[in-house]
Structure 1
């Protein structure tokens, strides 16, 4: 049976006390006491009391004149502050700079300490011997004072008043010391700056943190690891501050290239963790950014591991900069070919909803880019929804969007639109960019803003969209109209001829500058219309570039831009049309060809239709001869260069072998296959690259290793696999050899494919075995 919390006597006592309290309060207000338990007063009477109270509240006109109300300016300032977004953080450390020029202060020190210098020079170059003379004079004076203090301390004295007090000697004020150090740093004389710091310590002066940071910044920017380590061990051995730890780690990152794995930086970062001095979040973001820029699958996976490790041991709540960095990493294809849009959306939701961090433009654009590069329609549309939210949901006190669209924003949108073949949206984005880049100059004329103008990457996405676009109209499916007269040779043509240079220039005269008149409402409905728009855009691009003004004046022709323009012709024009263009385009633009130029034309020739194959073979042989010289240069450089272009080498040889097989030139196809196997034998695939020292599948509670693994060894792709040929690439040759009855060649092709497959399997097993504990590794066979 449940016991009551209070007894009936206590309840009655509390009730009487509550009633007496209510009665006394009512008497004080001049009202009758309301008995305990009586119903509440009516709503009408309560309303009458409020009205009577308002009648007695009278404000005079003079009081209204003197009363301070919020005017429009105060309200606008209030809403500007409330609706303002926080500024985006950067990786640069907050190092305080001197407020005034240190040279005049140094000259005053010289006048006081060096009487021989009567007229100090005002030039910084002539003042170089001055700082050495000042430091030498201060060193001598402090040494004399130290000698005198040591002698007096040893002397026996019974009187306490005669004892020497340990007080700083004010030869130079703190402001003058700092001016002297900043002057040495400005002259890039870090040895003199360190000497001045040593003298300050000997003189028992208080040294601000900014003074140490100013010297350490010089070592961090130049990547002088030896000097930085000596400086930390000499001046900051006790407990470096967060800024100093960040600068120390930054020194190791600046000392290596952007593509190198930052082993030493990771060692010093985990060493600080072991000492109980967790580096600041900026230091982690620096290392993670460097790992992501290395363009290696192992480095990319380690960046995710370090991000999870940071949240576990140091900073559980990342800042906006770190979130934007990791969301952009989801758009990379280092681990997955289509990125990780789900993880990007989860991180964005965690940032904005769970942690309540205001979204930044970098976070929005990174999320849109991750959704766009997935290539899936549902994520691409989610990216466009986020773009609309970015522009509409965040407005200032004037009603304007606080996120101005820039090139990164438009590039992310174009990335998604081109991957789903939405040419209509690509054309609209290009017209919007052309409109946004226009601004009024001081003379009232329209000018192009270089910061927001169309550049090379924008046009790269535009041409890719034209190449990926599938026309809805197919001429072969259209019903034939009745004709009374037979058609001649000119009327029987299915497609018009390509535009000449003059015709393309005339068609591009008003393109994009007047999008309503230049673009039709519907996208191109046939292949000739697609080519017409692409040629007009390219002609306008070259005209604006040559003229130095216009929407496309800042578009620089690069090899990848010309390759994108050629891809439009590969997709929508027959071989006779783009053959001459491929031969002359790069030479006319003065841009050299790159590896992708040859690989793309070889693949286009390999996929040519049967009537086009003889002409395609001529183009492919010419391109493959030039490709061989490029491949020989890579092989002469070393295996690392070959591994970096391994997939391109595979694509080029596979396309040429397929074209030989389809044209029934089986001897040359087999010969090229054997030459490839001799240059890149299957045995070279068996040995995996050396494992990074920080990669491990075990959880280590001690030592310089991350505690968390986001990707295990089996999930990380091997991006250093040498060139190889799989059966899918030799399938056409295998079928043609079997049809011709060449049994020996069929067996060789089958053996080669199986050899490459077995070498890959052995490489994977050895790579996984290298990550295992020595106890679980397989013993070598006797």
Structure 2
């Protein structure tokens, strides 16, 4: 159309007159191609696609104001941006250092190592020192010797009493008998006589009283310098040394009258005197006076009072004393609880005392001290390692509580206690070695010196300034090594036992070289080593040994016998140690003997460890070499040349070595020969070493082995040697005056368990000799021994020795009384102990013997069952526990229970009816026994 062209504006302001003009761009867009392209549309905006359009609002935008001059501009500098004096000095040092080292050659690797080592070691001596927290000086009592004290008292007497005497003779032993009752004799003392302390006390008291009478105000005009502090202390100590604590109390009053205040140590000394002499009433009197005066007892005074209760009334009275302070909201310190716990766990421990100790431990945490101290933790962990009642799980819980919950870093005593507790069982002893590894890691971290040339873990660095660094709080002690051996001897772990012995010797030698003498292995440690040898099982049995080089089996057997019988020759070879600083190589000591060098191969073909014994002969040879080196006279007092200088032959050491001989000897005759020779050699070295109950027990049990362990030719030797040992055992037992007391327990001069005469050891010895006679087909002798045992240890003693578990009235019981093991059960014989005898009697159809065996064993079983019933019912606690069955039996017999006499000691009248009921049953059994005899 004429009015519309292609150049017409098509923007927002364009207008179209007709609809045809409006559809024209659409035709061009979707229609067919035209010969020429249309003109492009003008751009709608000058903005690019990447730019954002300017905001529409606000409509008014003021012009930006001129920017102010910044404060950090050169015209206005910031003071903080200026370098400090320290920064300027540091920059100057850096520039000077660069200028100095500019022409120096680069450092080599060795130079860097030495520089780093010197840098670390520069503070070793300073770090080794311990700086304690500065405290205010405490006033301590002046302690004088006897001679100095006498001189001071003489001068005091001359000044106070007006004596111009020569030096008096020593104070008499019975000076207290010559003491005057008052000042009437003050002017009648002859010069040269010993002046009693009582006279001086009365003189000082009279001077003070006269001064107070002259002064209306009641204040003394006596100068305080009349009696010095040193003279007061000498007079007080002399009064206590004369066992006159009453006069010491009077002296404290005189001191106050003279204006001198007594210290807390004076009261502690008087309390300690009362406690040591068992005067509990006097100690409690002083305690009451101090409490009324509002005086707070110190820790040492609490401990002294607790000790007084322990000596006077035992642990029950001491626990009652501790509970009194708990009720007053001022509990006693943990050291007082520790005294009672130590008394229960260490003095004469039993299952009952251990149960009471755990109850007190739980009660203390509930009522007094929720968080125990390290000493209490160590004491309770140590108690978990008792051989009669091992509790490694409980020890592990206490250890975790100490180290993790409380965050304490244990020292060597705590590690030793935990190691001993874990070593008390065969199952957990490997954890003890893990604790040792942790302990050694702490020691290494504390004493580590980088790039140290010394490869010995214990020798340390002996150069100047590094001696202190080689020591730490985590060095294993002799008790630590012995605790580890408690586990190896239970498991028969000989390689670890040999490692422990070698490490202990290396540590002792290195400590001696460094100037810190440490005790080497003693007899108890070596006894544990020998017990490990005895419990060790040979890796290669005799039947698996194959000999090369034309040596027959007879040669090996003959050579083994030579080793077992002539161990002295092997022991002499240990003298050829060239280097005293090397480890104790036990294998080299054995190989230097007379043993023929042979190539031994196992049946499996595996290469065994050449440094560890493989056969019983190897173990026996090593043990013999060690034992004879111990018996050898000490050539010097140094561990470098004599590693066993601290080992003294003892009965326990000899018994442990004999257990190795009995366990690994090829024949019983060789073991018997070694027995006789060993005791002869030990007596020559150490007088007083004699066999005890343990010596005879291990030999009797060896002779009582069955036919599978002993051959027929050894059986005759076992019978003859066993009878000889039994006669010596009875002589040894009678020499110690073993006599049953009224309570049924055995009174032995010494510790029964240590002498091998405890109740369980007596049972084992009698069981062994009965078995020896039975295996020799001497049933008549075995029955005679059984009757003798029943006469020596009747079943009635099992009931007579019953005692209730002590009840201290604690609010919390950690243990159940019904689950506590029985303590002090007398020797008894059950059916399992004489099963072999019973089988032989059945084979021989000996009815009389069978009846005797049944009667004896049944009597012990019923006595044990009755005692167990008493324990479950809590009998013996004042008669508050009554059994309904007892009342019914008593009513059936026509007797009232209250009329029964107390024939059962602590058990009470509640068991009298039961005794009558069971008496009838016993009479019936005796009738059956008589009938069996007639048959």
The answer to whether 1:139 aligns with 2:228 is no
Q: What's the counterpart of residue 646 of structure 1?
A: 759
8 Å contact kept, 1:438–1:449: no
Q: Look up the SS of the partner of 2:195 in the other structure.
A: helix
- Match runs of 1:509-520 below 5 Å: 509-510=575-576, 514-515=582-583, 518-519=586-587
The answer to whether 1:674 aligns with 2:787 is yes
Q: Distance in 2 between matches of 1:130 and 1:226?
A: 27
8 Å contact kept, 2:255–2:262: yes
Q: What's the counterpart of residue 382 of structure 1?
A: 431
8 Å contact kept, 1:620–1:656: yes
Q: Distance in 2 between matches of 1:63 and 1:146?
A: 79
Q: Deviations over 1:621-643 (max 9, x none)?
A: 01111222334455436442269
The answer to whether 1:419 aligns with 2:490 is yes
Q: Look up the SS of the partner of 1:393 in the other structure.
A: helix
Change over 3 Å in CA distance of 1:199–1:642 after alignment to 2: closer
Deviation at 1:226, TM superposition (A): 5.5
Q: What's the counterpart of residue 161 of structure 1?
A: none
Change over 3 Å in CA distance of 1:72–1:207 after alignment to 2: farther
Q: What's the counterpart of residue 726 of structure 2?
A: 624
The answer to whether 1:330 aligns with 2:384 is yes
Q: Distance in 1 between matches of 2:681 and 2:484?
A: 31
Q: What's the counterpart of residue 180 of structure 1?
A: 235
Instruction: Figure out how many residues of one structure are paired with residues of the other and give that number.
Output: 690
Q: Which has the higher contact order (CA 8 A, sep 6+)?
A: 1
Change over 3 Å in CA distance of 1:141–1:758 after alignment to 2: same
- Match runs of 1:259-658 below 5 Å: 262-293=315-346, 294-334=348-388, 336=389, 339-376=390-427, 379-394=428-443, 395-396=445-446, 400=470, 401-438=472-509, 451-478=518-545, 495-497=560-562, 498-500=564-566, 502-510=568-576, 514-515=582-583, 518-519=586-587, 521-545=610-634, 550-573=642-665, 574-590=667-683, 591-607=689-705, 609-611=710-712, 612-632=714-734, 633-636=736-739, 638=741, 639-641=744-746, 645-658=758-771
Deviation at 1:682, TM superposition (A): 2.2
Q: Deviations over 1:37-81 (max 9, x none)?
A: xxxxxxxxxxxx99x94867773449989xxxxx99996577557
Change over 3 Å in CA distance of 1:85–1:113 after alignment to 2: closer
Relative to the length of structure 1, the TM-score reads 0.78
Q: Deviations over 1:143-200 (max 9, x none)?
A: 3356567xx6xxxxxxxxxxx3678976556835445324544666544422211323
> Where in structure 2 are there 5+ consecutive unaligned residues?
1-67, 94-118, 173-191, 450-469, 589-609, 684-688, 753-757, 891-935
Relative to the length of structure 2, the TM-score reads 0.66
Q: Distance in 2 between matches of 1:59 and 1:627?
A: 90
Higher helix share: 1
Q: Distance in 1 between matches of 2:499 and 2:788?
A: 49
Change over 3 Å in CA distance of 1:427–1:657 after alignment to 2: same
Change over 3 Å in CA distance of 1:609–1:204 after alignment to 2: same
Q: Deviations over 1:228-279 (max 9, x none)?
A: 44554566664450321211222344579xxxx5344334333444454422
Q: Distance in 1 between matches of 2:232 and 2:722?
A: 72
Q: Deviations over 1:599-630 (max 9, x none)?
A: 11111100151421111011110111122233
Q: Distance in 2 between matches of 1:488 and 1:414?
A: 35
Q: What's the counterpart of residue 4 of structure 1?
A: none
Q: What's the counterpart of residue 12 of structure 1?
A: none
Change over 3 Å in CA distance of 1:634–1:109 after alignment to 2: closer
Q: Distance in 1 between matches of 2:673 and 2:437?
A: 43
Q: Look up the SS of the partner of 2:821 in the other structure.
A: coil
8 Å contact kept, 2:485–2:500: yes
Q: Distance in 1 between matches of 2:514 and 2:633?
A: 13
8 Å contact kept, 1:348–1:367: yes
The answer to whether 1:757 aligns with 2:806 is no
8 Å contact kept, 1:372–1:380: yes
8 Å contact kept, 2:208–2:220: no
Q: Distance in 2 between matches of 1:604 and 1:209?
A: 63
Deviation at 1:721, TM superposition (A): 1.2
Q: Look up the SS of the partner of 1:331 in the other structure.
A: coil
Change over 3 Å in CA distance of 1:546–1:568 after alignment to 2: farther
Which range is displaced more, 165-174 or 349-358? 165-174
Q: Look up the SS of the partner of 2:617 in the other structure.
A: helix
Change over 3 Å in CA distance of 1:277–1:191 after alignment to 2: same
Q: Look up the SS of the partner of 2:538 in the other structure.
A: coil
Deviation at 1:420, TM superposition (A): 1.7
8 Å contact kept, 2:565–2:670: no
Change over 3 Å in CA distance of 1:597–1:104 after alignment to 2: same
Q: What's the counterpart of residue 897 of structure 2?
A: none
Q: CA RMSD in A?
A: 4.0
Q: What's the counterpart of residue 68 of structure 1?
A: none
Deviation at 1:301, TM superposition (A): 1.4
Q: Deviations over 1:269-321 (max 9, x none)?
A: 33444454422211111111111121222112111111111112212111111
Change over 3 Å in CA distance of 1:381–1:57 after alignment to 2: same
Residue 297 (structure 2) aligned to one of 231, 241, 265? 241
Q: Distance in 1 between matches of 2:732 and 2:257?
A: 63
Q: Distance in 1 between matches of 2:86 and 2:515?
A: 62
Q: Distance in 1 between matches of 2:611 and 2:569?
A: 22
Q: Deviations over 1:454-497 (max 9, x none)?
A: 211111011001101111101224568898x9x69657758442
Q: What's the counterpart of residue 712 of structure 1?
A: 816
Deviation at 1:662, TM superposition (A): 1.5
Change over 3 Å in CA distance of 1:451–1:489 after alignment to 2: closer
Q: Distance in 1 between matches of 2:142 and 2:759?
A: 53
Q: Look up the SS of the partner of 1:690 in the other structure.
A: coil
Q: Distance in 2 between matches of 1:29 and 1:708?
A: 77
Q: Distance in 1 between matches of 2:312 and 2:634?
A: 39
Change over 3 Å in CA distance of 1:723–1:312 after alignment to 2: same
Q: Distance in 2 between matches of 1:728 and 1:59?
A: 90
Q: Distance in 2 between matches of 1:622 and 1:264?
A: 50
Q: Look up the SS of the partner of 1:262 in the other structure.
A: helix
The answer to whether 1:778 aligns with 2:883 is yes
8 Å contact kept, 1:687–1:766: no
Q: Distance in 1 between matches of 2:415 and 2:739?
A: 45
